[in-house]
Amino acid sequence: MKKIKKHIFLAITFVIVGLLIASTVSIPAFRIDKNENNLNIKLVQNELRTETLKCRSFNDRLTVVPQTTAIPEFQYEGDQLSPAFDIGETGAFMAAYRDSEVDNIYWTYTNENAVYYSIEEGGDYPSVKLWDGTRFFGTFVPSPYDSYGGVVYLFETTDPTDWDNQYSLVGWDWSDLPDYPGELLWHDIIDIEIACDNSKENWEWGYISFVGDTNYGDGVTEGPFITYPTSEDGYATISWYIGLDGCAHTDNVIDHVSYKAYAVYDFLDPEDDTWKIVIRLDYYDNWDRDGTAYVYTEDTDMQYPAVAANDGDLLVVMESDDGGDKDIICFYGTKLETLADSVVVHTSDDERYPDISHLTGDTYLCTFTKNGNMCAVITEDAGQTWGEPFQINDNDNVVISGYKYSDLSSNGLQAMWQEQGYDSDIWYGSATGSEPPQAPSISGPSSGKPNKEYDFTFTATDPESEQVYYYVDWGDGTNSGWDGPYSSGGSAMLSHTWTEKEKFTITAKAKDAIGNIGPESIFSFSTPRNKGIFYDFIARFPILSYLLGL
């Protein structure tokens, strides 16, 4: 009995001594583990830090630049580089790219005109995302000569067609904080991305992830940062984990259902000189809620991650260097701790620079470059298996392969890429290989009375015979929303009542089941300027209404 007590006493003593020794040793950066899907992961246990700053405006630097109409989308003298764009639900369009002739970022919704801000040395790698409707936000990597590359810019437009009144640019100069005068803090941002969500207040547009350096605190070199708006009067918070030096590229997304915010980075681990993937999770609906981060590793280098998420599902695609050639692989799942991996595309050729977006349900689309072409591949089970890749560019072997030389819309339907001709130009087209429906035909009365309901018929055919939805703008500030689905060639009868005495332009468009939006059709409808027997007579004969301009 005495021996048992002695052994227990010695065991307790060793535990206490061990705890005392452990208390004098710093906590390791990671906890090495292998998840249930046999994927190597490391929980980031580093300290999370934050800082806050107020933005300032750069709208006084706005310049509107008329361009010559060009075909395809952006084709002018000099190189058009690093395209970024997004598309609204009704087809609203916003794009940005770097133009070598002005050495600045152009912001545009058309191939006829553009806007740029006179920022020193212009910057590079723009990012554009839809917030809602026609409201877009964007950012770009600042030049190293612009506050030492420590400014985080925020572009905004609520109406891309209004050059003079609806374009703005603000920025947070993190290189010089008020409490640290004369000290160089954040600098040398080398990559940046923006994610947007419209579920909160108008000023809470989303967040930005970036890779850069800081001398703040313990300092970070090429570290993984995020920044997000903190207050309506322009303050923002920057947040980062220390000890993750050596990142190079980033992407991000907000799950519009679960409101989980994911930022991904590639990370060169100095311990084994291998490129790994960092995935950081935060909560867009509550930035104060504790998030987490993991480092994922395999036996090969993994770089250029891109991320998509929807309704709890997370997909991260990346370039993998295995067997002497480049392939695309995917991490997928619902929890960071239990992600699995799958092969997106693997051939003896190089598949490079992936991007990914959610299409619908469990369907996601991934783009990549291969042999001078822009290609895409689709998964219909949230990343577990992938279909056959297909080419989406028309001109063979002219796509320029490079990091951020292409972009994919948030809805996964359209892509932009660079092609090499006389110089570098930007092309635009369907990412799904599916053509949108034709412009719908519109039939109905061309005139009528105020406060009376009228019926109109809309008919569109889809080239792949997919189901179609119709969207009608009634010309009085109201619309039908997307109505459907209908069979290809099937008609929708929609009714509307106008309350004013005016001429109205009805605009209609159709989209297919995966969201490809076709061209518009227009139809004129007018209500009378004067009521009476004359109007009743004219209303019976629409051709007279047209000839008389009523």
Look up tokens 């350096």; give the residue: 213
CA dist., res. 24 & res. 370, Å (int): 53
What type of residue sits at position 321? D
The whole-number pLDDT of residue 542 equals: 60
Pick 181 or 27 by higher pLDDT.
Answer: 181
Mean pLDDT of 22-26: 27
Displacement of CA 410 from its chain's centroid (Å): 5
pLDDT for 116 equals: 75
Q: What span, in angstroms and rounded, lies between the C-alpha atoms of 544 and 403? A: 60
Q: CB pairs under 8 A, 24+ apart, for 156-164?
A: 156/205, 157/94, 157/107, 158/134, 159/134, 160/92, 160/93, 160/94, 160/108, 160/109, 160/134, 160/136, 161/109, 163/64, 163/113, 163/115, 164/64
How far apart CA 446 and CA 48 sit, in angstroms, is 64
Residues facing residue 226 across a β-bridge = 209, 239
pLDDT at 301 over 90: yes
**Strand arrangement, sheet containing 48-54:** 48-54, 235-241, 220-229, 206-214, 186-196
Task: Render pLDDT for 93-139 as a digit per residue (tens, 0 to 9).
Answer: 899 999 888 888 988 887 666 777 777 667 899 999 999 989 999 99
What is this structure's pTM?
0.80
Judge contact between 241 and 42, C-beta under 8 A. no
Report the pLDDT value the prediction gives residue 550, as an integer from 0 to 100.
52
For residue 197, give both structure tokens.
């969500």
Sign of CA dihedral 44, 50, 54, 56: negative
| pLDDT band (50, 70, 90) for residue 493 | very high
Q: pLDDT digits over 378-434, tens only?
A: 999 999 999 999 999 998 999 999 999 999 999 999 999 999 988 999 998 889 987
Q: Residue 22's pLDDT is what?
A: 30
Lowest mean pLDDT among 224-228, 309-313, 532-536: 532-536
Query: For position 40, what pLDDT does the model report?
Result: 83
Q: Please, are residues 262 and 313 in contact by the beta-carbon 8 Å criterion?
A: no
At 23 the pLDDT is 28
254: Cβ contacts below 8 Å, ≥ 6 apart: 195, 196, 197, 206, 207, 260, 261, 262, 284, 309
The answer to whether residues 296 and 277 touch, using CB atoms and an 8 Å cutoff, is: yes
Give yes or no for a cis peptide into 305 (omega within 30° of 0): no
What is the rounded average pLDDT of the residues 161-168? Answer: 83
How large is the average pLDDT for residues 283-300?
92
User: How many Å apart are CA 127 and CA 146, to the nearest integer?
Assistant: 18
Tokens of 167: 């374009």
3 state SS of 4: helix
Output the CA angle 511-516-521, nearest 5 degrees.
45
Given a cut of 90, is residue 222 above it in pLDDT?
yes
Q: How many residues does the chain have?
A: 550
pLDDT band at residue 464 under the 50/70/90 scheme: confident
Task: Report CA-CA distances (Å) from 429 to 113, 131, 142, 379, 415.
Answer: 20, 22, 28, 20, 6
CB atoms within 10 A of CB 414: 24
pLDDT of residue 1: 40
Who's near 477: CB < 8 A, 6+ residues apart? Answer: none
How many other β-carbons are positioned within 10 Å of the β-carbon of residue 528? 19
Asked whether the beta carbons of 166 and 126 are under 8 A apart, the reply is: no
The string of pLDDT tens digits covering residues 351-388 is 999 999 999 899 999 999 999 999 999 999 999 999 99
Residue range 26-81, pLDDT digits in tens: 223 333 455 666 678 888 876 777 888 776 666 666 666 655 445 457 888 889 99
**pLDDT mean across residues, the chain:** 85
pLDDT at 537 over 60: no
Distance between terminal CA atoms of the chain? Answer: 110
How far apart are the C-alpha atoms of 124 and 114, rounded to whole Å?
16
**Selection from 291, 320, 293 nearest residue 305 by Cα:** 320
More confident residue, 272 or 514: 272
